[in-house]
């Protein structure tokens, strides 16, 4: 039996790699672990069956035998910890790879999600236009130090890890905001990650959910 | 040599347990690991010495021999993974404990921080009062399912873990927002955690930074 993940039956981005199942798909591809996908509708996600897997009613979830998990970061941490390919063997390098995963999720992502939500949920409010520069400023306050840290290095630490996987997918959420483009080294970093065969397979599999239907 | 963490020389809350070094202090107390504290000013945090430890210029950081870490979640994950007392031995229970830690940081905390920042950074803006109910609604959308999950259980899973430690400290950020009070079981959960001897020691040590000065 392969592990089973859940993904959107109808994703807002129609499979452009922004839905969070992409994180898990890519991680599983990097470590060569086949998996099954169960698609769920927005209505399914609020039903008891799904809420038993994730009380917050979101995707992705992960089921493997007796283990069920939600929260993309936790799923990737589990995959990375129990396989090889996403975390270095050296304990120090391993701790730092996890650190970058957490930094992506708790330091870099929140202002990006805040900007997304402002657009979706407050885009028609009178204050939206005036708040936008404030929100962009909070994102730049994270991208400036990240870009300085990366410099002209290939990855955040000496080799590609789960930390890069998460950081790249968080940065991809900037799509359409004209902010990533201000940082040539971060743009190259994202492009370098997108060129990985495992990323390509995950992206095509997520996209196929939508293209095969049309 | 003990590990060294950094903490605010001047904390906005004056040692009421909201600054993020409290997370690391509490974790170290739970596992019985003595530690040293280096206090940093807001100016110190923007200097090269601190930026080498954390490019985002925040506290806490963690130094132990050749290992340096930032990001409170990553520091706690490292402490929990290399000691006993914060993660169960059983692999499934262990993965689920990490999951709750990530859920605290990436699902529950972001709307709470958004509300904090609105107060600090946009409290004088004309839209502040009208946005407040929207922000409270986003927080309740996380607290409702969390309260349903917890029910009348003592902890999020069968025993106290790093997941509870992080969730409790995230919920404590609701202090002064009159939101946690709407959830009696979450309020009891926070109080139960605050009664732990390790929490008490960490809290007193953080508070002492400020009271000893006056």
Inspect the interface and report whether the beta carbons of B71 and A102 lie closer than 8 Å. yes
Local confidence band at B141 (pLDDT 50, 70, 90 cut-offs): very high
Alpha-carbon span A50 to A59, nearest angstrom: 9
In a shared domain, residues A37 and A112: no
pLDDT digits (tens, 9 = 90+) for B11-63: 878 888 899 999 999 999 999 999 999 999 999 999 999 999 999 999 999 99
Contact B57, B46 (CB under 8 A): yes
Å from B200 to nearest chain A CA? 26
pLDDT at A148: 98
In a shared domain, residues A96 and A82: no
In a shared domain, residues B25 and B59: yes
Q: Judging by DSSP bridges, how do beta strands B4-8 and B36-40 pair with one another? A: parallel
Contact A156, A163 (CB under 8 A): yes
Alpha-carbon span A96 to A161, nearest angstrom: 10
Local confidence band at A159 (pLDDT 50, 70, 90 cut-offs): very high
In a shared domain, residues A77 and A97: no
pLDDT at A2: 96
Contact A31, A84 (CB under 8 A): yes
In a shared domain, residues A181 and A100: yes
Contacts of A91 in chain B (CB under 8 A): 67
Query: Look-up: residue for tokens 């732990």?
Result: B196
Query: Look-up: residue for tokens 């790699």?
Result: A17
Residue B214 has pLDDT above 60, yes or no: no
Assign residue A23 the CATH number of its domain.
Answer: 3.40.30.10
Local confidence band at A10 (pLDDT 50, 70, 90 cut-offs): confident
pLDDT at B13: 80
Q: Please tell me what DSSP assigns to residue B3.
A: -
pLDDT at A195: 98
The residue length of chain B stands at 214
In a shared domain, residues A34 and A74: yes
In a shared domain, residues A187 and A106: yes
Q: Which domain holds residue A177?
A: 91-196
Tell me which residue of A195, A206, A168 sits closest to A5, measured CA to CA: A206
Provide mean pLDDT across the span A168-183. Answer: 96
In a shared domain, residues A56 and A106: no
In a shared domain, residues A15 and A42: yes
CB-based contact, B146 to chain A, within 8 Å:
yes
Contact B156, B150 (CB under 8 A): yes
The pTM for the full model equals 0.97
Q: Which one of A74, A105, A107 has the shortest CB-CB distance to B56?
A: A107
Average pLDDT, chain A: 96
Residues in contact with B14: Cβ distance below 8 Å, sequence separation at least 6, in sequence order: B210
Average pLDDT, chain B: 96
Distance in Å from the first CA to the final CA of chain B: 30
Task: Report the number of distinct structural domains present in chain A.
Answer: 2
Inspect the interface and report whether the beta carbons of B102 and A103 lie closer than 8 Å. no
In a shared domain, residues B175 and B96: yes
- Of A33-42, A205-214, B80-89, B192-201, the least confident: A205-214
Inspect the interface and report whether the beta carbons of B105 and A107 lie closer than 8 Å. no
Local confidence band at B88 (pLDDT 50, 70, 90 cut-offs): very high
Provide mean pLDDT across the span A137-151. Answer: 98
Q: Which two tokens stand for residue A147?
A: 């870009």
Residue B180 has pLDDT above 90, yes or no: yes
Phi, psi of A185 (to 5 degrees): -70, -30
In a shared domain, residues B95 and B151: yes
Assign residue A146 the CATH number of its domain.
Answer: 1.20.1050.10
Q: Which one of B67, B71, B145 has the shortest CB-CB distance to A56?
A: B145
In a shared domain, residues A119 and A179: yes
Inspect the interface and report whether the beta carbons of B102 and A127 lie closer than 8 Å. no
Mutation site, A56, A76, A109, A144, interface B, largest B CB count within 10 A: A56
Provide mean pLDDT across the span B101-111. Answer: 98
Distance in Å from the first CA to the final CA of chain A: 30
Provide mean pLDDT across the span B139-150. Answer: 98
Å from A2 to nearest chain B CA? 17
Tell me which residue of A175, A186, A178, A197 sits closest to A17, measured CA to CA: A175
pLDDT at A214: 55
Residue B165 has pLDDT above 70, yes or no: yes
Local confidence band at A53 (pLDDT 50, 70, 90 cut-offs): very high
Q: What is the ipTM of this complex?
A: 0.96
């Amino acid at each position: 039996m392969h592990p089973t993940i859940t993904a959107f039956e109808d994703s807002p981005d129609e499979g452009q790699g922004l839905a969070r199942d992409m994180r898990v798909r890519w991680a599983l591809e990097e470590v060569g672990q086949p998996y099954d996908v169960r698609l769920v509708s927005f209505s399914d996600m609020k039903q008891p069956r799904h809420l038993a897997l994730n009380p917050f009613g979101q995707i992705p979830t992960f089921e493997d035998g007796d283990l069920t998990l939600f929260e993309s970061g936790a799923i990737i941490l589990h995959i990375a910890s129990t396989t090889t390919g996403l975390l270095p063997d050296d304990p120090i390098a391993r701790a730092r790879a996890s650190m970058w995963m957490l930094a992506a999720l708790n330091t870099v992502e929140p202002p990006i999600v805040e900007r997304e939500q402002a657009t979706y949920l407050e885009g028609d409010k009178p204050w939206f236009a005036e708040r936008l520069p404030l929100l962009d400023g909070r994102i730049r306050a994270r991208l400036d130090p990240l870009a300085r840290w990366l410099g002209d290095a290939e990855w955040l630490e000496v080799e590609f890890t789960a930390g890069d996987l998460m950081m790249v997918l968080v940065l991809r959420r900037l799509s359409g905001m004209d902010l990533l483009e201000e940082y040539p080294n971060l743009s190259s970093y994202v492009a370098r990650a997108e060129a990985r065969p495992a990323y390509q397979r995950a992206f095509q599999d997520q996209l196929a959910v939508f293209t095969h239907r049309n």
